[in-house]
Amino acid sequence: MPSGDVFVLIDEGGRVVEWGRPAEELFEWSAEEAVGRSVTSLTQGISADRPGRWEGLLESDALLVKPLLRGTSVVWQVLTPGDMPAAQDLAILKALFAHSPVAFHVLDDRLRVVRTNTASEGPSDTPAGHLLGRPFTEAWALEDAVAETAVAQGVLDSGCPVLNRLVRGARASGRPGRHIQSVSYFRLEDSRGHVLGLVATAVDVTERESAAGRLALLEQVRSRVGHVPNVGVICQELVDAVVPAFADVAVVEVVNDVVRGEDPPQVPVGQDVPLRRAAFRGGVTPAYPLGEVRPLPPGTPFSFVLSDLQPRLVPIEENSSWPAADPARAEAIRRSGAHSLIVAPLALRGQALGVVSLYRCQDQDPFAEEDVALASTVCAHAALCIENARRYMREWIIASTVQHRLLPQGSPAQTTVEVSQLHLPGPEGGGAWSDAIALPGARTALIVGDVAGEGMLAAVMMGLVRTAIHTLAALDLPPDELLARLSDSAARLAPAYAALPVADPEPTPLAIGCVIAVYDPVELTCTIARAGLAKPVAVLPDGSTVTLSVPPGPLLTGADNAPFPATTIVLPEGTTLAMGTAALADRVLAPSGPLRPLLDGASSRPLSDLRDAIADACPEDHRLGESMLLLARTKALPADRVLTRALPEGPEAAPIARAETRRRLEAWGMDEETAFTTELIVSEFVGNAVRYGAPPLQLRLILDRMLTCEVSDAAPSAPHVKHARTLDETGRGLFIIASLGERWGTRFQADGKTVWAEQPVKPPGAGP
């Protein structure tokens, strides 16, 4: 039998409303003759005129009658064999609609439900049979019915199926939360491709999605929280991880002693223990500002949690009594529309670190009991990270205190050099330092150094190295020899440093970087030697910037005896010298450094302004270690403060030197006692030079913070103090000088030596 579009369509009154071409061909009645007649009279007429055809059709059981929804009415469709599924297909469909756990909804071309299976139910468990004729969005009670209608209509129009689309249902009374369904849409077409409607399937995946969400949250917390050993950063990372993925508002309050690195209190926590509001996130105004420190009010879930360390699921209702104990928080909760609260402790080994408050607001689903367990797991991870940060903070405070005490307390006053230092502490403290050490002859030693490593060991080693440098500087050694002596000291310190117990499984071996520059304000020269650190930079008075070509020397490790070549450079008065450790040198001193332009024209700016400009330009995230930058601006010693006189090589040198000294001291206004002592020192130095030295001889007097007497000759031998016997006629001169002067010593040059002595300067008219 041929098949067509519609065989027969009968309305609720039993009248034919459509008579398809297959019916015309079978019964030889036109549509005009059949439409409008009752099906009873029509079948009787067919049986009388053509009984064989109608009875044979009925006996073959080849007709299928099914209801269809048209508007608000139901019509009955009679299908021919060509329009009917095979028996096997019918059995499959019957089994699916009767036993499948997947909800099936057959929708017509207007997206109304025309058939459902037994697994389907409507909102509030409405029986499946009551969904017929209703729009599918109303039958499913969707959260966003407009968006879902658009998706279904797109499938109806295009024929492209949509598979496994996650859809949230609207909140229903009596249910703690909304269901999540995995929905798929398929278009229905007849044998000729005419669109009949849609099949929509739905599977409840609420538990699956909830479990996946919990796992995703835990993974997010573990991957994002705790990588920086800072309590405040960890707390902020925690609230960023849980909002909005798990809660709408999150608050972290930490015991204030914990923030300072001290031991957390035991449980129960006293009511007077202050907590610091360490982190907050949420689209509302917080009850208290970040950083505020206060005790938690008693009688609230927050104080209860700190008493027993048990998390709590707290419904927020109008008749709740606890908000009255904390009016500011109660007002913030009211403004936010929060309706559900989890309060969980930050605790470790029975000690309370703080408390976390998680809120859900407005139309969000309230927290469930399984959410409490999830919050506890999240807070346990955060508590471990906070405890590690607390221990680190304690060690950092100790290391920073030690380092601060070992560093110079303020820049020493120098008359011929203006000094300013920029010190950027590292995350764990370290061994960077700078120094300006006054040397004889109004000279100044400028030093920048860095001990590799971080923490307490680096700070202590820095103190030892700095002490060694001060001791060696007192010997008035040139920079290259000072570094060589310091390298010998490092060789003795390295074994002891390696034997110290450290927590790091791969401790940093002893390595010291250092650059030393000695500035002479009389000669206007600077002698520089470096071990490992970057080349210094000089900003000349005209504003031009020059990288000083100082040959490199190795790091001071105690394992290398390589030389440390020194370079002497002429520096005009008003030159700004910049020396720094690696972290700042790469940015400020390197020719391609991003902060190098800040040095251009630096000689016309106050050093403090230049230092502050560099500090402001340094991003926080670059501080991977200790950073130190020393800025020094040179000054010349006035010519009238210096006497330089060449001396003859014979015995007449001493009287000439004494006379020149007396005249200059009178011009400087020195008192008689100072003049007598200075003449005695000059006479002894010149006598030794004549007797034991070699020409040429030179006398130099320098008036600065101290009065310095210098006598130079070409002999390489150095005088030394002797304790003369009672009968000896000589050998007491240097012993007397050592008693009269503040200090004395010998400085060697390539062409001889200089013996010097310093005396404190008394203002004219000052008493003894």
List, for residues 53-92, the tens digit of each pLDDT value: 555 554 444 566 666 766 656 676 776 555 545 556 666 6
Q: What is the CATH number of the domain that holds 704?
A: 3.30.565.10
**548 and 429, same domain (yes or no):** yes
Domain limit, last residue, from 368, 395, 422: 395
Domain count, the chain: 5
Rounded Cα gap, residues 410 and 423, in angstroms? 12
Region 412-426: mean pLDDT is: 81
Average pLDDT value for the chain: 82
Asked if residue 767 belongs to a domain, the reply is no
| 765, burial (CB in 10 Å: exposed 0-12, middle 13-18, buried 19+) | exposed
Rounded Cα gap, residues 158 and 643, in angstroms? 103
**605 and 726, same domain (yes or no):** no
* Tokens describing residue 101: 């756990």
Rounded Cα gap, residues 272 and 257, in angstroms? 13
pLDDT at res. 586:
85
- Per-residue pLDDT tens for 541-578? 998 999 999 999 999 887 777 789 999 999 999 999 99
pLDDT at res. 343:
95
SS3 113: strand
pLDDT at res. 6:
58
Q: Is the pLDDT of residue 382 over 80?
A: yes
pLDDT at res. 730:
47
Asked if residue 768 belongs to a domain, the reply is no
pLDDT at res. 726:
43
* Tokens describing residue 261: 């690195």
- Per-residue pLDDT tens for 173-182? 555 567 788 8
Asked if residue 550 belongs to a domain, the reply is yes
- Which range has the worst mean pLDDT, 418-427, 682-691, 756-765? 756-765
* Tokens describing residue 753: 């030596």
User: pTM of the full predicted structure?
Assistant: 0.56
**290 and 344, same domain (yes or no):** yes
Which range marks the domain in which residue 37 is found? 1-84
Region 596-600: mean pLDDT is: 88
Long-range contacts, 645-651 (Cβ 8 Å, 24+) = 645/698, 645/699, 645/700, 646/696, 646/697, 646/698, 646/699, 647/686, 647/689, 647/697, 647/698, 647/699, 647/711, 648/697, 649/690, 649/695, 649/696, 649/697, 650/690, 651/690
Domain limit, last residue, from 84, 113, 138: 84
Region 702-718: mean pLDDT is: 89
- Per-residue pLDDT tens for 343-352? 999 999 889 9
pLDDT at res. 461:
83
Closest-CA residue to 189 (of 98, 95, 83, 90): 83
Region 32-46: mean pLDDT is: 75
**5 and 49, same domain (yes or no):** yes
Q: What percent of the chain has pLDDT over 90?
A: 30
**484 and 630, same domain (yes or no):** yes
Q: Is the pLDDT of residue 505 over 70?
A: no
Spatial CB neighbours of 755, under 8 Å, sequence gap ≥ 6: 685, 688, 689, 710, 711, 712, 718, 719, 744, 745, 746
- Per-residue pLDDT tens for 137-149? 777 777 788 888 8
Q: Is the pLDDT of residue 331 over 70?
A: yes
**324 and 221, same domain (yes or no):** yes
Contact 406, 459 (CB under 8 A): yes
Domain limit, last residue, from 84, 112, 147: 84
Q: Is the pLDDT of residue 535 over 50?
A: yes
Q: What percent of the chain has pLDDT over 70?
A: 80
- Per-residue pLDDT tens for 615-647? 888 876 545 567 889 999 999 999 999 999 999
Asked if residue 1 belongs to a domain, the reply is yes
Asked if residue 515 belongs to a domain, the reply is yes
**700 and 569, same domain (yes or no):** no
Q: Is the pLDDT of residue 190 over 60?
A: yes
Q: Using 50, 70 and 90 to split pLDDT, how confident is the model at 729?
A: very low
**157 and 265, same domain (yes or no):** no
Q: Is the pLDDT of residue 307 over 60?
A: yes
Region 381-396: mean pLDDT is: 84
Q: Is the pLDDT of residue 701 over 90?
A: yes
How many CA atoms does the CB half-sphere of 689 hold within 13 Å?
Answer: 31
445-476 CB burial, b ≥16 within 10 A, e <16: bbbbbbbbbbbbbbbbbbbbbbebbeebbeeb
pLDDT at res. 449:
92
Asked if residue 90 belongs to a domain, the reply is no
**Better-predicted residue by pLDDT, 666 or 261:** 666
